[in-house]
């Protein structure tokens, strides 16, 4: 099935006639809708489900409301109820090897204070009375309403699956529909009714009274259970809406600087700490500068001074030596003369010694400037090569720390400057507090209701068992088996067989479904080592994950992002298991996923979810780099432009103006 066109007339927030062409191009399966929160995205998803399934549709805000009342609420406030509203869905699909064009139009209007609904179906532009008269059966043969939530879903359904609380319920419902087990369930219920009638026919008055009391107890509890289910649906919708209001209030609070306002005292304390740190660092630098460190500025002069000291040391040594050389040389000449050495040689030696004495005297007579101590050269060398480099390193480290502190201080001061005034943020904070309180109260009521539902469910089950026990006891007390008893016996056997059949058929097909779910999750996350296996219990439909060592892995061991990807993979795996070529429609597809997990869905899921994918995004989801990544797979985009004053939404070509790119 390919959706080609959606036409809404005075439906919900969509005033007048609004039209969107949905046919995708080859290789570009995505049709992208952008709309602000409250701008009509969920209404668009509801319109497709309502158009296809009518009163059987899974709708976001119907709750406990009757179908007629819901249709009345769906007429645009600016439209005449007598004119009413309508939804037209055009699509094509292959029937017996031939592509056929279909159009289903569902319209309703107020007549004689009653909402009148009509459905018409055309095939290849010709009215088809057979399809019109049997539309519910026809659409269920293509896509049963009971599994439509595998293809048409929103962030709330992903949230329920991700939390793991309702995963078994959602998966169980889907498996029953995919495997046709809803027929088995209906047959089992019919058999119980049949058995109840037959037992009544065979009982005496007292036995009949006991059975009747057990039946009344069961019916009373069952009615209470049905009532609590309706209350849960209504309250769940209220929690969903309260959560959306809370998210909008949180976003508004953050945009207006609320988070900065809440931590402004922390920012001021951090500013004071940084300023104190800077003062301490600058004090240390001043202490260094007050000592020997400034000499590092005259290193060349220090080197020259050291060299001068070395030369003067040599002059000093020459002065001491020159006084001793003459006496030494006389001793040498006398010694040579006493040894009968040739006179010419003695003269040469005397001449050489004289020249040496004269050189030493000249050096000794050189001018001195420093007259430094003997150890001055060693100290000057230690200062230049050891002390000053150490001080320079300390000073450089201090300067770097001061620079880093200045940067941190500037950043903190910039945030402090952006802190809004208390009067400015007070109203936004009050709105946020009310929204949070409302959400928490409604959610607490919902959790309390679910606890009551679980307790009541156990009571219903216990009452059912008591009823069956009473029926069986009274039937067994009869002395003779008759035809009715044999019927009861065989009926009971059939029910047992159906139960065994149900478990076996689920076991037979669950392996394929488990594999598809696991493949979908690993394709999304690309962490093949994180989960090595996934199983579905054939009785209670609970999902068990296994790590790389084959050990059970609880849901809560996964990160929030990984749980949402797992929830998406479960729906994707079930949709693939259905084998039905049906479009996928996702409202608020990214929710509160972090950037890394958003990237996984953008690149790995949306382009491959189906041959046609309708994405209904806010202005904070598929934007920027995500929009660029998905653009090659987008055939066309629409902007759901909401007029706050008129309270109506129009479907415009293009995307959010600030995120518009060529597609």
Q: Is the pLDDT of residue 97 over 80?
A: yes
Tell me how far apart the alpha carbons of residues 149 and 158 are, in angstroms, rounded to a whole number. Answer: 11
3-state helix, strand and coil shares in percent for the chain, rounded to the nearest 5 = 65, 15, 20
Mean pLDDT of 193-204: 63
Q: Which residues are 641's β-sheet partners?
A: 650
Tell me how far apart the alpha carbons of residues 75 and 85 are, in angstroms, rounded to a whole number. Answer: 6
Listed ranges 232-246, 388-402, 503-517, 533-547; the one with the highest mean pLDDT: 388-402
Q: What is the pLDDT of residue 302?
A: 76
Q: What is the pLDDT of residue 509?
A: 72
HEC assignment per residue over 21-52: ECCCECCECEEEEEECCCCCHHHHHHHHHHHH
pLDDT in tens, 392-424: 888 899 999 999 998 888 888 887 777 777 777
The widest CA-to-CA distance across the chain, in whole angstroms, is: 167
Q: Is the pLDDT of residue 75 over 70?
A: yes
Q: What is the pLDDT of residue 121?
A: 95
Q: What is the pLDDT of residue 109?
A: 93
Q: Is the pLDDT of residue 527 over 70?
A: no
pLDDT in tens, 269-294: 888 898 899 899 988 888 888 888 88
Report yes or no: 651 and 21 within 8 Å, Cβ to Cβ.
Answer: no
Q: Is the pLDDT of residue 198 over 70?
A: no
What percent of the chain stands above pLDDT 90? 18
Q: Is the pLDDT of residue 663 over 60?
A: no
Mean pLDDT of 160-173: 70
Mean pLDDT of 251-275: 80
Q: What is the pLDDT of residue 580?
A: 75
Cα dihedral 558, 559, 560, 564 sign: negative
Report yes or no: 612 and 24 within 8 Å, Cβ to Cβ.
Answer: yes
Q: Is the pLDDT of residue 658 over 80?
A: no
Q: Is the pLDDT of residue 332 over 70?
A: yes
Tell me how far apart the alpha carbons of residues 467 and 489 are, in angstroms, rounded to a whole number. Answer: 16
Which band of pLDDT confidence, cut at 50, 70 and 90, is reported for residue 480?
very low
Which band of pLDDT confidence, cut at 50, 70 and 90, is reported for residue 200?
low
Where is pLDDT greater, at 108 or 473? 108
Instruction: Tell me the two tokens of residue 351.
Output: 């001449």
Q: Is the pLDDT of residue 343 over 90?
A: no
Instruction: Tell me the two tokens of residue 662.
Output: 């060529």
Report yes or no: 460 and 290 within 8 Å, Cβ to Cβ.
Answer: no
Q: What is the pLDDT of residue 482?
A: 55
Which band of pLDDT confidence, cut at 50, 70 and 90, is reported for residue 581?
confident
Q: Is the pLDDT of residue 500 over 70?
A: yes
Which band of pLDDT confidence, cut at 50, 70 and 90, is reported for residue 256?
confident
Q: What is the pLDDT of residue 662?
A: 37
pLDDT in tens, 586-630: 887 776 666 667 888 888 888 988 899 999 988 888 888 888 889
Burial of 345 (0-12, 13-18, 19+ CB in 10 A): exposed
Tell me how far apart the alpha carbons of residues 449 and 239 are, in angstroms, rounded to a whole number. Answer: 12
Q: What is the pLDDT of residue 8?
A: 95
What are the residues whose beta carbons fall under 8 Å from the beta carbon of 634, sequence distance 6 or more?
Answer: 28, 30, 31, 32, 663
Q: Is the pLDDT of residue 197 over 80?
A: no
Q: Give pTM, 2 decimals.
A: 0.56
pLDDT in tens, 214-253: 788 888 888 888 888 888 878 887 888 888 888 888 888 8
Which band of pLDDT confidence, cut at 50, 70 and 90, is reported for residue 48?
very high
What are the residues whose beta carbons fall under 8 Å from the beta carbon of 260, sequence distance 6 or more?
Answer: 267, 415, 418, 419, 420
């Amino acid at each position: 099935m390919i959706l080609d066109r959606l036409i809404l007339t005075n439906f919900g927030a969509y005033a007048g006639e609004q039209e969107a062409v949905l046919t995708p191009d080859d290789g570009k399966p995505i049709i992208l809708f952008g709309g602000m929160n409250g701008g009509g995205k969920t209404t668009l998803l509801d319109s497709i489900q309502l158009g296809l399934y009518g009163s059987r549709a899974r709708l976001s805000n119907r709750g406990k409301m009757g179908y007629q009342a819901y249709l009345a609420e769906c007429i645009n406030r600016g439209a005449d109820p007598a004119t009413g509203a309508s939804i037209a869905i055009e699509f094509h699909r292959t029937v017996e090897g031939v592509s056929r064009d279909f159009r289903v139009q569902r319209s309703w209007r107020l007549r004689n204070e009653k909402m009148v609904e009509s459905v018409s179906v055309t095939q290849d532009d010709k009215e088809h009375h057979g399809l019109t008269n049997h539309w519910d059966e026809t659409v269920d043969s293509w896509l049963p309403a009971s599994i439509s939530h595998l293809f048409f879903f929103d962030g709330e359904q992903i949230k329920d699956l991700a939390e793991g609380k309702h995963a078994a319920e959602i998966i169980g419902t889907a498996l029953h529909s995919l495997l046709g087990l809803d027929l088995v369930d209906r047959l089992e219920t019919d058999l119980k009714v049949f058995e109840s009638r037959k037992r009544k026919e065979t009982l005496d008055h007292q036995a009949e009274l006991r059975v009747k009391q057990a039946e009344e107890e069961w019916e009373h509890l069952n009615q209470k259970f049905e009532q609590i289910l309706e209350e849960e649906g209504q309250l769940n919708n209220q929690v969903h809406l309260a959560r959306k209001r809370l998210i909008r209030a949180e976003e508004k609070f953050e945009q207006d600087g609320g988070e900065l306002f809440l931590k402004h005292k922390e920012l001021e304390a951090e500013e004071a700490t940084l300023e104190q740190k800077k003062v301490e660092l600058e004090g240390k630098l001043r202490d260094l500068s007050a000592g020997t460190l400034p000499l590092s500025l005259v290193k060349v002069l220090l080197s020259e001074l050291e060299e001068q000291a070395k030369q003067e040391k040599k002059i000093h040594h020459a002065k001491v030596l020159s006084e001793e050389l003459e006496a030494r040389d006389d001793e040498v000449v006398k010694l040579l003369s006493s040894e009968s050495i040739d006179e010419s040689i003695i003269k040469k030696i005397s001449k050489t010694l004289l020249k040496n004495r004269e050189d030493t005297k000249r050096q000794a007579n050189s001018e001195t400037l420093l007259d430094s101590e003997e150890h001055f050269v060693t100290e000057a060398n230690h200062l230049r090569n050891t002390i000053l480099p150490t001080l320079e390193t300390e000073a450089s480290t201090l300067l770097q720390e001061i620079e880093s502190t200045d940067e941190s201080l500037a950043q903190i001061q910039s945030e402090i400057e952006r802190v809004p005034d208390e009067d400015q943020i007070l109203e936004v904070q009050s709105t946020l507090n009310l929204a949070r309180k409302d959400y928490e109260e409604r959610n607490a009521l919902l959790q309390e209701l679910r606890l009551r539902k679980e307790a009541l469910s156990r009571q219903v089950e216990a009452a059912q068992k008591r009823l069956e026990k009473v029926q069986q006891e009274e039937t067994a007390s009869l002395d003779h088996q008759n035809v009715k008893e044999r019927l009861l016996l065989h009926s009971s056997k059939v029910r047992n067989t159906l139960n065994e059949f149900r478990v076996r058929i689920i076991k037979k097909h669950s392996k394929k479904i488990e594999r598809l779910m696991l493949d979908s999750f690993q394709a999304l996350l690309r962490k093949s080592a994180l989960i090595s296996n996934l199983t579905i219990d054939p009785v209670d439909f609970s999902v068990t994950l296994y790590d790389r060592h084959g050990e059970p892995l609880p849901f809560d061991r996964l990160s929030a992002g990984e749980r949402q990807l797992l929830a998406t993979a479960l729906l994707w795996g079930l949709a693939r298991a259905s084998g039905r070529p049906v479009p996928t429609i996702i409202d608020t597809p990214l929710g509160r996923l972090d950037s890394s997990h958003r990237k996984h869905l953008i690149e790995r899921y949306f382009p491959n979810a189906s041959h046609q994918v309708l994405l209904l995004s806010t202005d904070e989801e598929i934007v920027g780099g995500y929009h660029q990544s998905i653009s090659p797979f987008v055939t066309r985009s629409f902007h759901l432009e909401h007029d706050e004053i008129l309270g109506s939404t129009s479907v415009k070509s293009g995307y959010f103006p600030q995120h518009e790119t060529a597609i």
